A and B are shown apart, each in its own frame.
Chain A
Amino acid sequence: MALSGPEITAIVHGLLGTVFLMAFAGSYAELIQLTHAGMKRVKWGITIMAGTAIIIDLLGDLIYTVYRAPVPDSARSLIKAGSTPWVHEIGMELKEHVAHFVPVLMLIALFMVVYYKEDLVKSKELRAITAGLLVTAMLVTLVAFGLGAYITKVQPIK
């Protein structure tokens, strides 16, 4: 069975979400016990997180246009007409907005790493603040990721 364009986009969107979470794990682990050698890995990890966050949002916006198409068989129309309209009214409304917080959070973290460079190795306080930004971005991503998975289960994009 051939996959449609939106289905392939949705798969890549979800896959990049996994890459984001993997990059978070690596960056966070390095930040906890940062050394001069680990600084390069943190920079790469946070750059990958910021880059994937931006691409995920762009792909998500693309899928969103298919989801909310003003036709009777779009995912949004079917969910709203079905027995669980709250999936759109609460779940999708929240997801479509909070997902756009993540690139902002990641760009702040990336700016911190680029601005402070090696100072990050010297200051435990700066590492804790950077880690706090990463954890916040990861938690928001998990909410968006979980809601996305649930909405797709209720009504897949075609």
Chain B
Amino acid sequence: MAKKKQISGAAKTNGPVAAAMLSGSVAIVGIGVLHLLAEGSEAAKKALTFYAPMGPLSGKVVISYVVGLILFFLLKNAWAEKNFPNLRTWLYIVIGAVLLGFLFTFTPFVHFVLGE
């Protein structure tokens, strides 16, 4: 059986993918941060209620997704020719964002932060 040829890298720059990972991370953490904000302030909760039957969740998701998308298009162009030394670091940032998102939406932690 022929030995598989191992090719170490890709021809394209990794800047646009890093942009996707960073903006996605911002969107994920954004949902958590807006949740903390909504739990801490009635005014914020009301302002985030874009669609009454869904409550403040509608605003948290819409704002986070829109901010993530805008950031992605800005960074994708800005980093089009950029090549980061290690793309794996950006994956760790995404995983960190997911863990932070979990923490910020975990009710006992929210109560702890708000001193309830």
* CA gap between A120 and B17 in the complex, in Å: 13
Distance to closest chain B CB from A38 (angstroms): 13
Q: Mark A76-92, 1 if CB is under 8 A from B, else 0.
A: 00000000000001100
Contact of B1 with A by CB under 8 A? no
Using Cβ atoms and an 8 Å threshold, which residues of chain B touch A120?
10
Interface of A is mostly: helix
Partner of A129, one of B12, B16, B91: B91
* CA gap between A69 and B57 in the complex, in Å: 14
Instruction: Judge whether A97 and B57 touch: CB under 8 Å.
Output: yes
**Chain A contact patch, size range:** 35 or more
Contact of A136 with B by CB under 8 A? yes
Interface residues of A (CB under 8 A from B): 61, 64-65, 68-69, 89-90, 93-94, 96-98, 100-101, 104-105, 107-108, 111-112, 115-116, 119-120, 122-126, 128-129, 132-133, 136, 140
| CB nearest to A128 among chain B residues | B88
Contact of B27 with A by CB under 8 A? yes
Using Cβ atoms and an 8 Å threshold, which residues of chain B touch A125?
8-9, 87-88
Instruction: Judge whether A132 and B91 touch: CB under 8 Å.
Output: yes
